[in-house]
Structure 1
Amino acid sequence: MLATPGTLPPPAVEDRWAFEVKQDGQRAMIYLPGDGTALVRSRSGADITPAYPELLPLADFLGSRPAVLDGEIVALDDRGHSDFERLQQRMGLAGSPARAASMAAQVPAHLMLFDVAHLDSRPVTGLPYTERRGLLEGLGLAGPAWSTPAAIVGHHGAQAWEMVRNAGLEGLLAKRLTSRYEPGVRSKAWLKIKIHHLADVVIGGWVPGRGRLNGLPGAVLVGEQREGLLHYAGSIGTGWSMADRIRLAEFLRSAAADHCPFTEVPPVAGARWVLPRLVGEVRYSTRTRTGRLRHPSWHRLRPDLAPDDLT
Structure 2
Amino acid sequence: MLATPGSLPPTAQDARWAYETKQDGQRVVAYLAGDGGLVLRARSGEEITGAYPELAPLGEALDTTPAVLDGEILALDDHGRADFQLLQSRMGLAHAPARAARLAARTPVHLVLFDVMDLDRHSLLSLSYARRRGQLEALGLQGPFWSTPAALVGHGEQALRATRDHGLEGLVCKRLDSVYEPGVRSRAWIKIRNMRAADVLIGGWVPGKGRLKAADLPGAVLVGQRSTGGLRYVGNVGTGWSEAEREQLAELLRAVETDACPFDPVPAVAGAHWTVPRLVGEVRYSTRTRAGMLRQPSWLRLRPDLTPEESAADLPDKPV
State TM-score, norm by structure 2: 0.67
In the alignment, which residue of structure 2 is the partner of 1:148?
148
Provide the rounded CA distance (Å) in 2 between the counterparts of 1:69 and 1:53.
Answer: 17
CA deviations on 1:16-59 (whole Å, 9 max, x unpaired) are: 00000001100000011212110000111111000000111001
Q: Contact 2:39–2:47 (CA<8 Å) still a contact in 1?
A: yes
Provide the rounded CA distance (Å) in 2 between the counterparts of 1:219 and 1:32.
Answer: 49
Query: How do 1:29-48 and structure 2 match up within 5 A?
Result: 29-48=29-48
In the alignment, which residue of structure 1 is the partner of 2:298?
284
Query: How do 1:92-111 and structure 2 match up within 5 A?
Result: 92-111=92-111
2:126 is the alignment partner of 1:126: yes
Q: Summarize the Cα distance change of 1:281–1:184 in structure 2 as closer, same or farther, 3 Å threshold.
A: farther
Q: 1:64 Cα shift?
A: 0.8
2:172 is the alignment partner of 1:167: no
Provide the rounded CA distance (Å) in 1 between the counterparts of 2:95 and 2:130.
Answer: 38
2:74 is the alignment partner of 1:74: yes
Provide the rounded CA distance (Å) in 2 between the counterparts of 1:148 and 1:92.
Answer: 25
Q: 1:13 Cα shift?
A: 0.8
Q: Contact 2:8–2:156 (CA<8 Å) still a contact in 1?
A: yes
CA deviations on 1:165-218 (whole Å, 9 max, x unpaired) are: 0000010000000000000000000000011179xxxxxxxxxxx9xxxxxxx7
Alignment RMSD = 3.5
Q: Contact 1:221–1:236 (CA<8 Å) still a contact in 2?
A: no
Q: 1:283 Cα shift?
A: 2.3
Percent of pairs identical after alignment?
Answer: 55
Secondary structure, in 3 states, of the residue corresponding to 1:79? coil
In our comparison, the structure showing a higher alpha carbon Rg is 2
In the alignment, which residue of structure 1 is the partner of 2:265?
none
Q: 1:237 Cα shift?
A: 3.4
5+ residue gaps, structure 1, are: 199-209, 211-217, 224-231, 249-265, 274-279, 289-311
Q: Contact 2:51–2:92 (CA<8 Å) still a contact in 1?
A: yes
Secondary structure, in 3 states, of the residue corresponding to 2:102? helix
Q: 1:97 Cα shift?
A: 0.4
Provide the rounded CA distance (Å) in 1 between the counterparts of 2:208 and 2:77.
Answer: 29
In the alignment, which residue of structure 2 is the partner of 1:20?
20
Q: Contact 2:206–2:219 (CA<8 Å) still a contact in 1?
A: no
Q: Residue type matched to 1:234 in 2?
A: A
Q: 1:78 Cα shift?
A: 1.5
Q: Residue type matched to 1:35 in 2?
A: D
In the alignment, which residue of structure 1 is the partner of 2:223?
237
How many matched pairs? 240
Q: Summarize the Cα distance change of 1:98–1:123 in structure 2 as closer, same or farther, 3 Å threshold.
A: same
Secondary structure, in 3 states, of the residue corresponding to 1:282? coil
CA deviations on 1:208-258 (whole Å, 9 max, x unpaired) are: xx9xxxxxxx766789xxxxxxxx86334348x9xxx99x9xxxxxxxxxx
Q: Summarize the Cα distance change of 1:159–1:187 in structure 2 as closer, same or farther, 3 Å threshold.
A: same
Q: Summarize the Cα distance change of 1:52–1:178 in structure 2 as closer, same or farther, 3 Å threshold.
A: same
Provide the rounded CA distance (Å) in 1 between the counterparts of 2:57 and 2:21.
Answer: 25
Q: Contact 1:197–1:283 (CA<8 Å) still a contact in 2?
A: no
Provide the rounded CA distance (Å) in 2 between the counterparts of 1:219 and 1:41.
Answer: 39
CA deviations on 1:124-145 (whole Å, 9 max, x unpaired) are: 0110000000010010000000
